[in-house]
Amino acid sequence: MDVGFIGLGSMGQHMARSLLRAGHRVTVWNRTPARAQALATDGATVASTPGEAARAGFVLTMVSDDRALEAVVSGPDGLLPGLPRGGVHVSMSTIGADTAERLARQHEEAGRQFVSAPVFGRPDAAAAARLSIVAAGREPAVTQAMPLLQAMGQRVFVVGERPAEANIVKLAGNFLITAAIEGLAEATAVVAKAGVDRRQFLDVLLGTLFDAPVYRGYGSLLLEERFSPPGFALPLGIKDNRLLLEAGERLAVPLPLASLIRDRMLAALARGYGGLDWSVFARITAEEAGLTGALPAATPDAGAR
């Protein structure tokens, strides 16, 4: 298939390469041109504007946040005027449900189709085409996009016909990841203060009730303090947490644990950890418990999703 791909950050570059490996003809655009040029060596065509990338009839976006997405959609060089009538835009970024609803209306009014398909997985999963993808949108558009989604992920979950439904699922899922990180941080702090080896404690967890990818992956990351380079940077985690809290307020759903995690993330940001992985907020618990270690040097690039 001919497809445009916009947004070549730490995730997008791997996803675009997966499409190329699957035999799709990919036209790429990125705000930083050098990242797009790097894909040209793998066979991609480099577009000069988002609108040019969208002329293929299918365009996928993987940008950092709501504002960045709306910037590449709108304007004379945006993807929406460049996308042919009836064309499909698949947004794979983690954005707010209200933004997804607004973009769905905007696309429908313009005679284009909009699908939300955010992903679960870090850059290593994107590189291996093993992302888990949550899709929502009108059935014909989702069906048409399925070969592209399957080229990037190990499984595609279709959760509804309103694009915003996929974004709510993604935000709720990310919240559960942060809840697991907070739980691991508190539990490992108390066992460490009691003199128990933290690695042995993690082995017990993984060998009994908590043998799950989130505990296995983040448990090792926390114990080894592998916060740099970031797989997903702290400011983006704060953004996702804010979007979840906004959804909770709109829906009248109290989210006290999400509020606690927001404060943990803000405390980590205040300590200068903004260039590190979002899981670095677990260090706040360790510091409060008097458990300190060598912190990896912060990197200036907050990354892109």
| Pair 145, 14 in one domain | yes
**Does some domain include residue 305?**
no
* CATH number (domain holding residue 180): 1.10.1040.10
Looking at the domain assignment, is residue 128 inside a domain? yes
CA distances 258 to 60, 209, 231, 243, 263, Å, are: 30, 23, 21, 11, 9
For residue 32, what are the contacts with CB-CB under 8 A and spacing of at least 6?
8
Is residue 262 situated within a structural domain? yes
Q: Are residues 193 and 74 in the same domain?
A: no
In a domain, 293, yes or no: no
Could you read off the pLDDT of 104-150 as tens digits, one per residue?
A: 999 999 999 999 999 999 999 999 999 999 999 999 999 999 999 99
- Give per-residue pLDDT as tens, 171-203: 999 999 999 999 999 999 999 999 999 999 999
CA dist list (Å): 279 to 157, 234, 265, 271, 285: 26, 7, 9, 14, 12
99 & 240 share domain: no
* Residue type (1 letter), 243: L
Q: Hey, what are 117's tokens?
A: 């398909």
In a domain, 303, yes or no: no
Q: Do 134 and 186 belong together in one domain?
A: no
For residues 11 and 135, membership in a common domain is answered with yes
Q: Which one of 137, 160, 183 terminates a domain?
A: 160
Instruction: For residues 187 and 122, state if they share a domain.
Output: no
The pLDDT value given to residue 296: 43
| 131 and 183 housed in the same domain | no
Q: Examine the domain organization and report whether 111 and 131 are in the same domain.
A: yes
In the chain, how many domains are there? 2
Whether residues 186 and 152 share a domain: the answer is no
Q: Does residue 128 sit in the same domain as residue 237?
A: no
Looking at the annotation, which residues are catalytic? 170
**300 token code pair:** 């200036």
Determine, yes or no, domain membership for 297.
Answer: no
Q: What is the 3-state secondary structure (H, E, C) of the chain?
A: CEEEEECCCCCHHHHHHHHHHCCCEEEEECCCHHHHHHHHCCCCEECCCHHHHHCCCEEEECCCCHHHHHHHHCCCCCHHHHCCCCCEEEECCCCCHHHHHHHHHHHHHCCCEEEECCEECCHHHHHCCCEEEEEECCHHHHHHHHHHHHHHEEEEEEEECCHHHHHHHHHHHHHHHHHHHHHHHHHHHHHHHCCCCHHHHHHHHHHCCCCCHHHHHHHHHHHHCCCCCCCCEHHHHHHHHHHHHHHHHHHCCCCHHHHHHHHHHHHHHHCCCCCCEHHHHHHHHHHHCCCCCCCCCCCCCCCCC
> What is residue 293's predicted lDDT score, i.e. its pLDDT?
58
For position 292, what pLDDT does the model report? 72
CA-CA distance, 228 to 302, in Å (whole number)?
A: 11
* Final residue of a structural domain among 160, 195, 213: 160
Is residue 255 a part of any domain in this protein? yes
Largest CA distance in the chain: 65
- Domain end, chosen from 160, 185, 212, is at 160
Question: How far apart are alpha carbons 136 and 82 in whole angstroms?
Answer: 23
pLDDT along the chain (305 residues), means of 10: 97 98 98 94 96 97 96 95 97 97 97 98 96 98 98 98 98 98 97 95 96 95 94 96 97 98 98 97 94 50 38
Give yes or no: residues 138 and 173 share one domain.
no
116 falls within a domain: yes
Domain that holds residue 244: 168-288
Query: What is the CATH number for 153?
Result: 3.40.50.720
Q: Identify whether residues 88 and 235 lie together within a single domain.
A: no
